[in-house]
Amino acid sequence: SQKIEQNSEALNIQEGKTATLTCNYTNYSPAYLQWYRQDPGRGPVFLLLIRENEKEKRKERLKVTFDTTLKQSLFHITASQPADSATYLCALEGGMDTGRRALTFGSGTRLQVQP
Amino acid sequence: DTGVSQDPRHKITKRGQNVTFRCDPISEHNRLYWYRQTLGQGPEFLTYFQNEAQLEKSRLLSDRFSAERPKGSFSTLEIQRTEQGDSAMYLCASSPKGQGHPEQYFGPGTRLTVT
Within an 8 Å CB–CB cutoff, is residue A2 touching chain B? no
- Three-class HEC string of A71-90: CEEEEEECCCCHHHCEEEEE
CB contact under 8 A, B59 and A105: no
Contact in structure between B51 and B44 (CB atoms under 8 Å) = no
Q: What DSSP element (H or E) covers A19? A: strand A19-26
How far, in Å, CA of B75 to CA of B93, rounded?
11
In chain B, what residues touch A101 (CB-CB under 8 Å)?
31, 33, 48, 50, 55-56
Residue type at position B86: D
Beta bridge partners, B15, equal none
Nearest to B106 among A32, A43, A108 (CB): A43
For residue B96, the model assigns a pLDDT of 87
Distance of CA A61 to the CA centre of its chain: 14
Contact in structure between A109 and A13 (CB atoms under 8 Å) = no
Within an 8 Å CB–CB cutoff, is residue B93 touching chain A? yes
Beta bridge partners, B37, equal B89
Please give the average per-residue pLDDT across B65-87, as a whole number: 95
Per-residue b/e over A22-57, b at no fewer than 16 CB within 10 Å? ebebeebebebbbbbbbeeeebbebbbbbeeeeeeb
- pLDDT tens for B35-48 read 999 999 999 999 99
Band of residue A10 on the pLDDT scale cut at 50, 70, 90? very high
CB contact under 8 A, A101 and B93: no
Check pLDDT > 60 for residue A98: no
Phi, psi of A83 (to 5 degrees): -65, -10
CB contact under 8 A, A106 and B104: no
In chain A, what residues touch B43 (CB-CB under 8 Å)?
44, 89, 103, 105
Band of residue A6 on the pLDDT scale cut at 50, 70, 90? very high
Within an 8 Å CB–CB cutoff, is residue A96 touching chain B? yes
In chain B, what residues touch A105 (CB-CB under 8 Å)?
42-44
For residue B23, the model assigns a pLDDT of 98
How far, in Å, CA of B27 to CA of B92, rounded?
14
CB contact under 8 A, A43 and B40: no
